[in-house]
Amino acid sequence: MSLNIVLVEPEIPQNTGNIARTCAATGASLHLVGPLGFTITDKHLKRAGLDYWDSVEIHNYDSLKEVTDKYPDGQFFYASTKATKNYCDVSYPDGSFVVFGKETKGLPEDLLKENIDKCIRIPMIGELRSLNLANAVAIVTYEYFRQKGFENFKLKGYLGE
């Protein structure tokens, strides 16, 4: 059971660091598609990811096409505020790839139109533009693992022992 988080041209190092930490905590793989808006050695990126960097499987690519070509049988889902399908209404197969766009623009509209049946959204009230990228990734990541019954998740130091 695995999940693949794909970030297309992330711009804010703290978001990517937080996402790496979420990936470490859940066992999800992180795929970074460049160009990145920061360097991998950025101190804010490192700080946000704390000491979890060794626990994350990270892959780097020059384009999203490179990712989809590498995984031709992969089940790809595209997160967007423009989608109509609720992220909770999707049954995510093992090994799914969930693709998120850059903080300022999201994913390209032509990509969304080509994959409209695989586009998902996180519902929001009002006219807000979007959620923070790291929060959006965490929401969808935990939905994926909820659907899998949180298999392989261990309780550590919880109350009631």
Q: Where are the domains of the chain?
A: 3-147
CA-CA-CA-CA dihedral for 134, 62, 79, 41, to nearest 10: 0
What is the Cα gyration radius of the chain?
15
Average the pLDDT over 52-80 and give the result. 94
Q: Token pair for residue 59?
A: 């892959």
Rounded to the nearest integer, the mean pLDDT of the chain is 90
| pLDDT for position 47 | 60
- φ, ψ of residue 148 in degrees (nearest 5): -90, 5
Residue 161 has pLDDT above 70, yes or no: no
| pLDDT for position 1 | 61
CATH of domain 3-147: 3.40.1280.10
For the stretch 44-56, pLDDT in tens is 556 654 567 778 9
| pLDDT for position 113 | 98
| pLDDT for position 159 | 63
Q: How far apart are CA 58 and CA 19, in angstroms?
A: 11
